[in-house]
């Protein structure tokens, strides 16, 4: 179990979310994610601190919310930064709060000596409760909605493990592939689905909707 936001978001079975981009004014302007099994709203991201939306995030921040509007994660770009770098905070970020995770577009040589699109690192817990280190990479192209989030091996002899996957949404009835504004997020058993959605927000900020940009590593 990779509990980051909460155990309630770590399903023992694979969880499939249909994610819909709800606004197209700029990258990250809004998302709604629906549970494939129930059709119910699971997450939404539509409060960005522009003087509206309830104040769940300050200017320049993105808030991942639960279905009832409760803040689960706050993501913001770190400035100044040599490379594009983001930080994620648990809930609605407070002054002085330690980040939960960091994400960055690495330099030319990334993990394994290959060009990297995004690297996400779960940071040590600020509380006394220990947290296992977790390093994730993004393999594929988020703008084309075809990529995987892979956990790096934690010990010698272990293999890298796919913890989430983003794919184009297919309308089975019509047998057509839907547009880029609707896609599927598959979350592996035991991995935190709220954390996976937080990674989606960061990827959208890094890549936007420019389908000419690939995020390839390893």
The structural domains of the chain, with segments of one domain joined by +, span 12-207
**What pLDDT, on a 0 to 100 scale, did the predictor assign at position 95?**
81
Q: Which two tokens stand for residue 9?
A: 């978001």
Q: What is the pLDDT of residues 80-106, one digit of tens each?
A: 655 578 899 999 888 888 899 999 876
Looking at per-residue pLDDT, the higher value among 178 and 161 belongs to 161
> Percentage helix, strand, coil, to 5, in the chain?
10, 40, 55
Q: In angstroms, rounded to a whole number, what is the distance separating the alpha carbons of residues 109 and 79?
A: 22
For 12-207, CATH gives 2.40.160.200
Q: What is the pLDDT of residues 19-68, one digit of tens each?
A: 998 865 554 458 899 999 999 999 998 655 443 344 445 656 889 999 99
Q: pLDDT-based confidence at 149, cuts 50/70/90?
A: very high
Other beta carbons within 10 angstroms of residue 70's beta carbon come to 10
Ramachandran class of 55: left when φ > 0, alpha when ψ lies in -120 to 50, beta otherwise: left
pTM: 0.82
* Among the listed residues 94, 28, 38, the one whose alpha carbon sits nearest the alpha carbon of residue 67: 38
Other beta carbons within 10 angstroms of residue 173's beta carbon come to 6
**What pLDDT, on a 0 to 100 scale, did the predictor assign at position 22?**
81
Q: In angstroms, rounded to a whole number, what is the distance separating the alpha carbons of residues 75 and 100?
A: 10
Q: In angstroms, rounded to a whole number, what is the distance separating the alpha carbons of residues 157 and 113?
A: 19
Rounded to an integer, the average pLDDT of 177-185 is: 91
Burial code (b: 16+ CB inside 10 Å, e: under 16) for 31-66 equals bbbbbeeeeeebbbbbbbbeeeeeebbeeebbbbbb
């Amino acid at each position: 179990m990779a509990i980051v936001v909460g155990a309630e978001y770590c399903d023992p079975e694979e969880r499939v979310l249909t994610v819909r981009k709800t606004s197209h004014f700029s990258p990250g302007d809004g998302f709604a994610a629906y549970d494939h099994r129930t059709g119910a709203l699971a997450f939404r991201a539509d409060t960005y601190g522009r003087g509206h939306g309830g104040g769940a995030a300050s200017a320049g921040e993105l808030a991942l919310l639960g279905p009832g509007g409760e803040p689960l994660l706050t993501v913001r770009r770190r400035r100044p930064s040599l490379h594009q770098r983001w930080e994620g905070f648990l809930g609605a970020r407070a002054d002085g709060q330690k980040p939960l995770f960091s994400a960055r577009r690495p330099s030319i040589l990334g993990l394994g000596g290959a060009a990297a699109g995004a690297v996400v690192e779960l940071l040590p817990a600020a509380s006394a409760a220990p947290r296992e280190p977790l390093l994730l990479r993004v393999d594929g192209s988020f703008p084309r909605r075809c990529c995987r989030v892979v956990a790096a091996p934690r010990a010698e002899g272990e293999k890298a493990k796919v913890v989430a996957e983003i794919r184009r949404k297919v309308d089975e009835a019509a047998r057509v592939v839907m547009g880029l504004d609707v896609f599927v997020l598959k979350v592996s058993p035991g991995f935190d689905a709220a954390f996976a959605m937080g990674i989606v927000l960061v990827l959208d900020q890094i890549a936007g909707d420019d389908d000419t940009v690939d995020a390839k590593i390893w």
